[in-house]
Every structure is written in C-alpha cells, then in structure tokens.
Amino acid sequence: MNSFKTGEVLMDGGSIHRTLLAYALPVLVMQLLQQLYNIADCAVIGRLCGGFGLAAAGVAGLVLAVHINFFIGFSVGVTSAVSRLFGARDFGKLRAMIATSVRLAVGAGLFLTIVGEKLAENYLAWLACPAETMGDALSYLRICLLGLVPQLVYNVANGVFRALGNTKTPLRWLAVSALLNVALDLLFVGAWGFGFAGAAWATVASQWVLGLGMVWRLTRIDARFRFSLGAPSLSAKELLALLRLGVPSGMQAAFMSLSSLLIQISIDGFGPAAMAGMVVFAKVEGFMYYPAFAYGMALTGFIGQNLGAGRLDRVDEAMRVSRRTAIWSTLAVGAGLMLGAEPLVGFFTEDAATTENALAAIRWIFPCYVFYSLNQVYIGGLKGLGETAIPMGSALFSYALFRVLWCEALLPRWHDMAVIYSAYNVSFLISLAILVPAYRRVYHSLVRPGAPGAPAVA
C-alpha cells in the first residue's frame, strides 16, 4: 500500500483485510455523520413542531432524496472510473476525469435547483401530501433545494477521494459540517426562534461549507491530477464512458428513492401518524443502511484500484472478507438497535401513535436487514468491476417495481402497515437473487477459469 504526501493511497499491495478495513472505516463513520445531519433536524422538528412537522419534513425529504441519491449513486460510478485510472497510474487522464466530474455536479445542481423551485408544489401534490402539512412541507422543500449544488459537489468529490484511497479528508470536512449544522440548529431554532424554516436554513448553510471545503481540498491533492478551473475536460468519447458508468449507478440510487416516493402514497392512506412513524423509522434505519451502503462504496474503490493494477486475486479475497463483515456486523448492530428501539424512537417524538408506528417498522424490517447488507457487497463488487447496469436493473425491479406492485396487490385485501413493511423484506431477497449470479458471471468474464493463478469465485 503506497501513500502520497497529499493523502492519496494505492491499495494494490499489503494486507487485504487490514487495507480494506482501514479504507472502509472512515467511510462508515462518514455515513454516520451524514446521518447526524438528518437526526439533528428530525429531533428539532419532532420536538418543536410535533407529528405534523415530522410528516412535512419527511415528505419534502423524499423529493430531495431522489435528486441527491442520484448523485450519490453517480459518485460510485465516478469512484469506479477514477480508481481504475489511479490504479493504472494514468494521471493525465485522471486529472481530466476529476475536473469533468466536478463540473457535471455543479451544472446538474444548478439545473435541478431551478427546476425544483418551479415544480416544488407539483411534487408535493403528486405525493398526495395532506393539506395540513402542505404549507410546512413546501417551505422546507424550497429552502433545502438551495443546498442541492453543494450536496452534489460533495458527493462527486467524495467519490473521487474514495477512488484515490483518501477517506480521511471527506470525513474531516463532513465532521466540521455536521457540527456546524447542530450548532446552527440550536441557534436558529432554539435561541432565535426561527422555527421550522430555521432547521432548513441551518442545514443549507452547513452544506455550502461542506461543498466549498471539498472543492478547495481537491485543489490541494497531487499536482499531477489535482482540480483547477483550467484543468482539461474529458473528450466526448471519454465523457460518454464516464456517463455509462455513472448514470446507471445514479439511476440505481434514484430508483431506491423513487420506490420510497411511490410507497409514500400508500403510507399517506394510514394518516399523519403512520407518515411520521416511517420518518422516525428512517432515521433509526440509517444506523443500518448507511454503514452497509458505505461499505459497498468503499469496496468499489478498493476493487477498482486492484482491477486497474491487474490484481484480481485481491478482488476475490476482498469479496470474501466483505461478505463475512456484512453478515456479522449487521446482525450485531441490528440486535443492538432492536433492544434499544424504544429510547431511540423516544428521542425523536413523544407522540404515542407515531412511536407505535416507528417501533412496528423496526421490528418487522430489521431482522431481514442482513440480506440488504449482502446486496451492498455484491453491488460494490459489480461496480468495482465496471458493471453498473446490473445493479441499476436490480434496484428498478426489486425496489421501484416490486414494492409498489406488492402494496397495490395486497393493501386492498389486507389494509395494514405490515404489508408495506414486508415489501422491504421480500425485495431484499429478490435483489440478492439477481446480484449474486450476476457478480459471478461478470467476474468469470474477466478471469478465465482454470488459467494459472486465476482465483476461484466462492
């Protein structure tokens, strides 16, 4: 494992287990800090604005998540492309790749902000947002849309740093931003009484600090591939290759959010307490979801670098280590969260109906979460090998289509939130059934079975 003076790390040598864990751990912490953003706002809104405030923030958050999650996914495609160039030591093309990725994020962020501001009310109406929460949801959404540009830039820059083996820099900047968000929440809402809008403005301000800080740090990496305004862009052919990696990966993440949007329509039929309960559940779920998602992202960068360096033996071992890590860590964390579910939910709300709904979701979904964690391992592996279309197709079918069809078919016969909870569990299994054979097929296409030194797929 070779390190650069500016923090980049080549991961095509050294202990696979230690290297992968050292690389993945800051990404895991980073995602938990990202969750702190959400928790701070949710706790402030839940305690000061009650169940209706939580419901309003939850609906607005679903709209924002479609945009943001696309670029979280797109950044994983960027990680795959950048890590392979870095592993191959192609620094000239790497510089153009980094510059083009940042420019795409800025342009897309500006476009989506303008469109979102114009269509915000339409989005909420399409989601059948209840009339009693419409005003707050619209206000919250329009303020938070102003943070899209820095969020998209942060996610793409984070993907670049992951590909370069530098997970500490994004972690430091995210920690600064998360602490700033909490401080501004206390100032804007607690001290100055700005209320519901204050929490939104606190988040937007901290997001701009994060986005600008990450861009500044990209101008301080190794001179051979650092970002600058005058850095060359990719050629049209190379840009299309990047988009072929990034767009399917982004669509995969967007389909996850889209499924939540579509299911939200079903949840709305159970009233504000059910809506608020799922918002609280999502905050607790973050302690399961974000580590699994983060580990998959870390695995993509590790595998991409080793693929670029021709070290497929390390790819195979990394997958074995990752499967074991995913299973045991998810079982341990899930058990802890279920045991502490009541005080965790009580941190966000004191409303009895909201609490009941949140606890029901936790008890239904968490026991099956190990399958979702394994999904993230195989998604990370496929993306590291340069295959992003299969994870996209899996997400489209398992999450966006299956969950909606499941609810449409069963809710008229069994009008119970358990139908919605069970849709999550079954979709995890369906996705895993698609991803495991797909990974084996892609891996074997890169390594001819029986060739000298070729690793076997477990």
Among 50-59, 127-136, 187-196, 442-451, which is the least confidently predicted range?
Answer: 50-59
453-456, long-range: CB < 8 A, 24+ apart: 453/313, 454/312, 455/312, 455/313, 455/315, 455/316, 455/317, 456/316
Q: What is the pLDDT of residue 186?
A: 81
Assess if residue 404 is contained within a domain.
yes
pLDDT above 90 (res 106) = yes
Assess if residue 209 is contained within a domain.
yes
Number of domains in the chain: 1
> What is the per-residue pLDDT across 238-279, written as a single tens digit (0 to 9) for each?
899 888 888 888 887 777 767 776 777 777 778 778 888 887
Q: What is the pLDDT of residue 11?
A: 72
Average pLDDT, rounded, for the chain: 83
Q: Which domain holds residue 83?
A: 2-446
Assess if residue 456 is contained within a domain.
no
> What is the per-residue pLDDT across 224-236, written as a single tens digit (0 to 9) for each?
999 999 999 999 9
Q: What is the pLDDT of residue 456?
A: 39
Assess if residue 457 is contained within a domain.
no
| 8 A C-beta contact, residue 161 and residue 170 | yes
Assess if residue 458 is contained within a domain.
no
Distance CA 28, CA 143 (A): 28
Assess if residue 383 is contained within a domain.
yes
Kindly state the DSSP code that residue 115 receives in the 8-state scheme: H
Question: Cβ-count burial of 16 within 10 angstroms (0-12 exposed, 13-18 middle, 19+ buried)?
Answer: buried
Assess if residue 453 is contained within a domain.
no
Band (pLDDT 50/70/90 cuts) for residue 5 is low
Residues 405-435 as b or e (16 or more Cβ within 10 Å = b): ebbeebbeeeeebebbbbbbbebbebbbebb
Work out the percent of the chain whose per-residue pLDDT is above 70. Answer: 89
Assess if residue 330 is contained within a domain.
yes
Among 76-90, 105-119, 129-143, 169-183, which is the least confidently predicted range?
Answer: 129-143
Among 142-151, 307-316, 427-436, which is the least confidently predicted range?
Answer: 307-316
For the entire predicted model, the pTM comes to 0.72
Distance CA 302, CA 320 (A): 13
Average of per-residue pLDDT across 287-299? 80
pLDDT above 80 (res 335) = yes
Among 11-20, 106-115, 240-249, 434-443, which is the least confidently predicted range?
Answer: 11-20
